[in-house]
Structure 1
Amino acid sequence: MIAAVDVGSARARAGLFSVEGQLVARASRGFATLPSPGGQAGFDFAEIWQAVSDALAEARRMAGASPAQVQALAFDATCSLVVDAPNFAPDVIAWHDHRAVAEAEELGRIRHEVVVRAGGSVSPEMQTPKLLWLARHRPDVWAELRAVHDLCDHLAWRATGIAARSLCAAAAKWPYLPDRGGWAHDLLEGLGIAGFPHEDRVLAPGAEIGPLSRQGAAELGLDRECIVSAGLIDAFAGALGAAPGMPALIAGTSNCVMAPDVAATPALWGPYPGAILPDQTVSEGGQSATGALLDSIRRQYPFETSHGEILARIAAMPEPGQGLHVLPDFKGNRAPFADPLMRGVVHGMSLDRGAPALDALYWRSAVGIALGTRQVIAHMGLRPDRLAMAGGQARAPLLRQLYADATGAEIHWQPEDAVLRGTAIAAAAPLLGGIHAARKRFARAVEVTRPNPEAVARRERDWAVFLRMQQQRAEISELTARN
């Protein structure tokens, strides 16, 4: 069997696949986000690792699999930063942590290829500004760094005891240029942060790192013969596991549109050579905190309810909240504006906080998110007639239909969890002759959702309002800046 572990923003999920690519069992365990003032948020790595271990054990129990049957393993994760140093807690800086806004702005003013590939305006969600923040604000920690890793790499290190970095994470989030010799030493030295530990091998996704260590095997409940491969950032794993041959929309806590062969463009991340496949570049256009926005609305209900229950109520009624319009940039805007300080707008909201009003707000926020995805796709220069979809939002038929109607593209959804599948492809690559062969072996049939002409017309009206609200927001920001 092939094991894949996906560590998101709140849960660790483990999947077991057959060597033919069939998902046999899947389990998950949660872990806490540890917020603090100033846009800071973190995780405790020990808690994440326990969640990983528990989820793997449960998936293995569900599959009836012995430790010896699990032959390969890989990890994907959010691009959170693990800081291995004394007196730094929580020891994982969350991907969505915005403590390094000033450092990101400073980096964005530097002429360098790393900045060009960050869209010309570096996001505080990337690792270089976070490294700079650590060096400046926590010199005590910086001086005693034992290691500093992307989360997917630290998980692999904890499992094997072998220090290695995924090319996916290095190219997409670190000052690393795989087609220009690797680490951007000139940039690091100019910033005064060249001294952090970064001598680890950099391996393409699906390359073998090595077997489990004695400790890793004991903690994960697997045999030492299990081979661990280099993994990916979660959105990249989703793109690998989704339907091939088309752009991929990974719609989870945030939304990411992933596409090959897109030129460097302001507010887009990439192109990143080899970040998914060795013979291909990939670029990303993103929206921050999309699923997180829907979850924040879910938590406002006067009773416990799930996303599925909310969407079932919405599907059973005429479209709610047509007087409501939402710009969903409550955690900043990645594309097309590259502004981490931009904030959302709600037009037409009343004081009503009953379930029907919150259902309407939830739905209209989802509409705003889907329109934002349409804008990202256009900013990438894409006009797709097909769009692969993965992530938590993809599991809801109503949301798949919404994205089809908002973008005008067929939504191709692979039901057996594209994110875990992409990570399983990386895990299986050493056993199956490489990542291309593993991807072909793991391919599965998709469900296709086509745009509904009547709904497309409604979304066109929403689109006009969406653009006008963005113009008004810009005008208000300009007026405020004058004062």
Structure 2
Amino acid sequence: MLIAAVDVGSARARAGVFTLDGQLVARTSRGFATLTMGGGQAGFAFAEIWQATADALAEARAMAGAPPEAIRALAFDATCSLVVDAPGFAPDVIAWHDHRAVAEAAALSAIPHQVVARAGGAVSPEMQTPKLIWLKRHRPDVWASLRGIRDLGDHLAFRATGIASRAHCAAAAKWPWLPDQGGWASDLLAELDIADFPHSEPVLPTGAAIGPLSAQGAAELGLTRDCIVAAGLIDAFAGALGAAPDMPALIAGTSNCVMARDLPVAPALWGPYPGAILPDEAVTEGGQSATGALLEWVRLQYPQPQSHDQITQRIAAMTVEPGAGLQILPDFKGNRAPFADPLMRGVIHGQSLDRGQDAMDALYWRSAVGIALGTRQVIDHMGLAPTRLAMAGGQARTALLRQLYADATGAEIHWQPEDAVLRGTAIAAAAPLAGGVRAARDRFARPAVVTLPDAQGRARRARDWAVFLRMQQQRDEILNMTKD
């Protein structure tokens, strides 16, 4: 008996096949395109995401040597992108990082409501409520013809089963849904004039069985109808579930998210969200936007094609850190915490016109340093002083970056080598067969690789930290000088 997990990120769908005791048997991925428009708009085509999902699952199953009937459970995690199921709306997935609803987010933030408070008092345009308002205001024709409007992970499960449902994780973290206060915030929906969007589906906790694959879903995914689909999570929350337990978690992927339990409502922090990962636990998120995306942008500027692994291996082999004189504030897609400003922009100090490999390696490394310092600032803003920090996501695969985060934060970095995001989603998939999500998590636990802070690295990052804070002050001063 095997289970499958699918993680849909910002550019790829990744599929993993696991045994019921948590052994990763096979993993593969397929890419899909991001469609960019003006005005901060970006989207995806759901059909392309679904095809990438099916292809990745088929290849992973082939790598595992597993016949279709061997896969008995499946779950999805995804970015908090918004699927708009309505005729004439294309692309039909609004990307999580789409910022078309900046004005709507600002107006919503002025309303005294618990939904706003749990969004840190300044609702991000990356959340679903501002996007709903935008759609109602700017595309009333689409709004009137909505067949459904869901988080991407929920729509993947709907396409697989034909059963409409919502994951508790996404509903609590990204929608106007308060699980500890009766569910949908009907008063806020009425005030915003968006109460008429389709939202009657049941909201299911992580790992609850949605139902078996439909005949169509089974055929398209190359599986059988005996496969049960379980409620999944947002990708960062899946990473927190799959990472080393009993400590705050840093999910360092396209964006960076620090996840911690038992924190109160506070400015620029998202949460606490009761039950968003595990029942009877509330999780709070402090985040940075487009961190891994910044490293990807730098990678694409190299004159010759490079992989992230090639770049980090070269940097790790250097006897002297590259980029002396380069200083970077990484807020190129706005700032979530501590400033909650989607219009904030990054700063590069000391950049030359050189695009040779050495110069680009320096830019890559110093971008990574700026991101790690931003993570330290998020942790400080959350009031945490962790001695241990679980790490997951694409950046965690690289020993160089794990050491950087250890030195920047002063915490031990605990990393489970097998993909924590896929592992968290596999835990959700296994829950109906393993006696619940907690029992499944226990089965899937793996020893962690521990990276300790280095004294010399700590000293270098302390100098960088002082510069980082001074640059933020200077950025504020310049903005004040240039205000109309």
* TM-score interval, normalised by the smaller of the two chains: over 0.9
Q: Deviations over 1:180-211 (max 9, x none)?
A: 00000000000100000000000001011000
CA-based RMSD = 0.4
2:190 partner SS: helix
* Residues in 2 aligned to 1:322 and 1:77: alpha-carbon distance in whole angstroms: 38
2:14 matched to which residue of 1? 13
* Residues in 1 aligned to 2:312 and 2:222: alpha-carbon distance in whole angstroms: 38
Q: Does 1:367 align with 2:373?
A: no
Task: Look up the equivalent residue of 2:171 and give its one-letter code.
Answer: A
Task: Look up the equivalent residue of 1:450 and give its one-letter code.
Answer: L
**Uncovered stretches (5+) of structure 2, i.e. residues with no partner:** none
* Residues in 1 aligned to 2:435 and 2:120: alpha-carbon distance in whole angstroms: 35
1:251 matched to which residue of 2? 252
* Shift of residue 140, structure 1, vs aligned partner: 0.5
Q: Runs of 4 or more off by more than 2 Å in structure 1?
A: none
Q: Deviations over 1:30-63 (max 9, x none)?
A: 0000000000000000000000000000000000
1:286 matched to which residue of 2? 287
* Shift of residue 477, structure 1, vs aligned partner: 1.0
Q: Does 1:171 align with 2:172?
A: yes
1:452 matched to which residue of 2? 454
Aligned 1:123-162 pairs, distance under 5 A: 123-162=124-163
Task: Look up the equivalent residue of 2:372 and give its one-letter code.
Answer: A
1:294 partner SS: helix
2:198 partner SS: coil
* Shift of residue 357, structure 1, vs aligned partner: 0.6
1:71 partner SS: strand
2:30 partner SS: strand
Counterpart of 1:442 (choices 441, 444, 450) is 444
Which has the higher mean CA deviation after the structures are superposed, 471-480 or 41-50? 471-480
Q: Deviations over 1:46-102 (max 9, x none)?
A: 000000000000000000001111000000000000000010000000000000000
1:338 matched to which residue of 2? 340
* Residues in 1 aligned to 2:57 and 2:234: alpha-carbon distance in whole angstroms: 19
Counterpart of 1:320 (choices 305, 311, 322) is 322
2:93 matched to which residue of 1? 92
Q: Does 1:120 align with 2:121?
A: yes
Task: Look up the equivalent residue of 2:195 and give its one-letter code.
Answer: A
Q: Deviations over 1:95-131 (max 9, x none)?
A: 0000000000000000000000000000000000000
**Uncovered stretches (5+) of structure 1, i.e. residues with no partner:** none
* Residues in 2 aligned to 1:42 and 1:351: alpha-carbon distance in whole angstroms: 32
Aligned 1:222-261 pairs, distance under 5 A: 222-261=223-262
* Shift of residue 315, structure 1, vs aligned partner: 1.2
* Residues in 1 aligned to 2:352 and 2:395: alpha-carbon distance in whole angstroms: 27
1:97 partner SS: coil
* Shift of residue 410, structure 1, vs aligned partner: 0.3
2:401 partner SS: helix
* Residues in 2 aligned to 1:480 and 1:194: alpha-carbon distance in whole angstroms: 41
2:45 matched to which residue of 1? 44
Counterpart of 1:471 (choices 462, 473, 477) is 473
Please report the TM-score for the alignment, with normalisation by the length of structure 1. 0.99
* Residues in 1 aligned to 2:14 and 2:354: alpha-carbon distance in whole angstroms: 37
* Residues in 1 aligned to 2:314 and 2:218: alpha-carbon distance in whole angstroms: 45
* Residues in 1 aligned to 2:62 and 2:434: alpha-carbon distance in whole angstroms: 25
* Residues in 2 aligned to 1:237 and 1:104: alpha-carbon distance in whole angstroms: 26
* Shift of residue 351, structure 1, vs aligned partner: 1.4
Size of the alignment, in residue pairs?
482
Task: Look up the equivalent residue of 1:369 and give its one-letter code.
Answer: I
* Residues in 2 aligned to 1:221 and 1:244: alpha-carbon distance in whole angstroms: 34
* Residues in 2 aligned to 1:309 and 1:393: alpha-carbon distance in whole angstroms: 14
Q: Deviations over 1:425-471 (max 9, x none)?
A: 00000101000000000000110000000110000000000000001
Q: Deviations over 1:288-330 (max 9, x none)?
A: 0000000000000100010111111111211001210000000
1:211 matched to which residue of 2? 212
Q: Deviations over 1:149-193 (max 9, x none)?
A: 000000000000000000000000000000000000000000100
Aligned 1:30-41 pairs, distance under 5 A: 30-41=31-42
1:60 matched to which residue of 2? 61
Task: Look up the equivalent residue of 2:80 and give its one-letter code.
Answer: C
* Shift of residue 229, structure 1, vs aligned partner: 0.4
Please report the TM-score for the alignment, with normalisation by the length of structure 2. 0.99
1:297 matched to which residue of 2? 298
Identity, % of aligned positions: 77
Q: Does 1:400 align with 2:390?
A: no
* Residues in 2 aligned to 1:87 and 1:416: alpha-carbon distance in whole angstroms: 41
Q: Deviations over 1:126-146 (max 9, x none)?
A: 000000000000000000000
2:481 partner SS: helix
Q: Deviations over 1:263-287 (max 9, x none)?
A: 1110000000000000100000000
